[in-house]
């Protein structure tokens, strides 16, 4: 469901989950507008959680927008390596020391790491309290802030500890992307491209034609990319909230990508960079399955390269280690690894019908 609000520069989408439905607001300067925040607070207390990179830029503005209730803030260290149970415990300690109750709200101000940590803390604190997502990176705005996947990493696997827990709203202020470093912008494009590959050929073709404008931070191009990505994700989440079926398609490239992130040490490869390389690996395996043509693979790789993203995994991860890390992925069911592969550009499938030797060869060759 898509509605354009009175302000022509603002779009809202709805994640349709019945009585747990919530809006995604997309537009400029939303971080300053209490109309898209205050109605989604619960109770008289809010804790804004951000990190040391984002807080100096946006914490004061967000705090002013929600003024009128008891508000405090907690600033975390920045980086995927801090997406851990220890960091979640920092949030619990602050909440308890400051006597936040079940009628309180957590507000996540930052990228995907902050959003995942805060969402997991909200799911656990007193068995669940209200939370709001205010994503400030492209990757978070198009993917991780939407859909209720929350959690933290373990030394043995990415995102292995978590919960499905939906926010009360998502406020995607496109203006925050103006302060995003180029590497982070490119990382977000990995997830944007993913939506085209798995089920929206028209969007994939749009990205091919407009990738330069997005990289140049053209406002209209960025807004279209965010809106179309969120529309795709909202539709999938509404149909399959807890990943029992089609939602698994959103994991294209992620099994390979998570192995890269874990092997290289969290934070050394950005999530989007690992997903980009992983998606190219999935495309090459799809070609070996006879589904994609060599021209299809070249087209996919070319788009990721134009997005300034890696298209092969780091050579220092040996095949045995890579396969071992993939074997503890969440998409292993009854000891069988399932992967998201491409039948064609614009159509993905979850399958275990690949030969292990073929997969090993694909991993070895990147």
Among all residues, which ones are annotated catalytic? Answer: 127, 149, 191, 233, 243, 247, 251, 254, 258, 271
Cα gap 94→145, rounded to integer Å: 23
3-state secondary structure of 212: helix
User: Under 8 Å CB-to-CB from 301, ≥6 apart: which residues?
Assistant: 280, 283, 311
Q: Cite the DSSP H helix spans in the chain.
A: 55-65, 85-97, 112-124, 138-139, 182-199, 201-215, 219-239, 254-264, 271-288, 294-306, 319-326, 356-365
- Let me know how long the chain is: 366
Q: Report the relative pairing of strands 332-333 and 45-51 from DSSP bridges.
A: unpaired
Cα gap 122→128, rounded to integer Å: 6
Residue 328 per-residue DSSP state: T
| Residues linked to residue 47 through DSSP beta bridges, in sequence order | 72, 106
Q: How far is CA 3 from the centre of its chain?
A: 23
Q: Based on the number of CB atoms within 10 Å of its own CB, is 308 exposed (0-12), middle (13-18) or buried (19 or more)?
A: middle
Check the CA dihedral 297-300-306-312 and report its sign. Answer: negative
Cα gap 136→114, rounded to integer Å: 10
């Amino acid at each position: 469901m898509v509605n354009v609000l009175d302000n022509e520069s603002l779009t809202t989408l709805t994640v349709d989950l019945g009585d747990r439905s919530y809006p995604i607001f997309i537009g400029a300067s939303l971080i300053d507008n209490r109309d898209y925040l205050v109605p989604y607070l619960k109770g008289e207390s809010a804790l804004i959680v951000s990190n040391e990179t984002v807080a100096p830029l946006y914490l004061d503005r967000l705090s002013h927008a929600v003024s009128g209730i008891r508000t405090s803030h907690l600033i975390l260290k920045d980086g995927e390596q801090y997406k851990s149970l220890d960091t979640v415990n920092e949030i619990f300690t602050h909440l308890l020391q400051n006597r936040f109750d079940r009628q309180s709200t957590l507000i996540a101000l930052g990228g995907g790491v902050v959003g995942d940590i805060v969402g997991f803390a909200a799911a656990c604190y007193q068995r669940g309290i209200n939370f709001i997502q205010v994503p400030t990176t492209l990757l978070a705005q198009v993917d991780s802030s939407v859909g209720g996947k929350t959690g933290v990493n373990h030394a043995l696997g990415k995102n292995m500890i978590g919960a499905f827990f939906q926010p009360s709203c998502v406020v995607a202020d496109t203006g925050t992307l103006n302060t995003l470093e180029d590497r982070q912008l490119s990382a977000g494009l990995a997830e944007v491209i993913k939506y085209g590959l798995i089920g929206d050929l028209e969007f994939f073709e749009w990205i091919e034609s407009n990738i330069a404008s997005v990289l140049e931070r053209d406002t209209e191009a960025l807004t279209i990319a965010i809106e179309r990505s969120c529309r795709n994700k909202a539709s999938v989440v509404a149909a399959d909230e807890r990943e029992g079926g089609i939602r698994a398609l959103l994991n294209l490239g992620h099994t390979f990508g998570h192995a890269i992130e874990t092997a290289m040490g969290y934070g050394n490869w950005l999530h989007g960079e690992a997903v980009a390389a992983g998606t190219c690996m999935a495309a090459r395996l799809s070609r070996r399955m006879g589904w994609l043509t060599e021209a299809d693979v070249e087209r996919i790789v070319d788009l990721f390269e134009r997005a300034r993203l890696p298209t092969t995994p780091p050579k220092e991860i040996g095949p045995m280690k890579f396969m071992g890390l993939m074997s503890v992925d969440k998409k292993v069911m009854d000891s069988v690894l399932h992967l998201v592969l491409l039948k064609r550009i614009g159509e993905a499938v979850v399958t275990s019908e690949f030969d292990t030797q073929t997969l090993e060869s694909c991993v070895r060759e990147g």
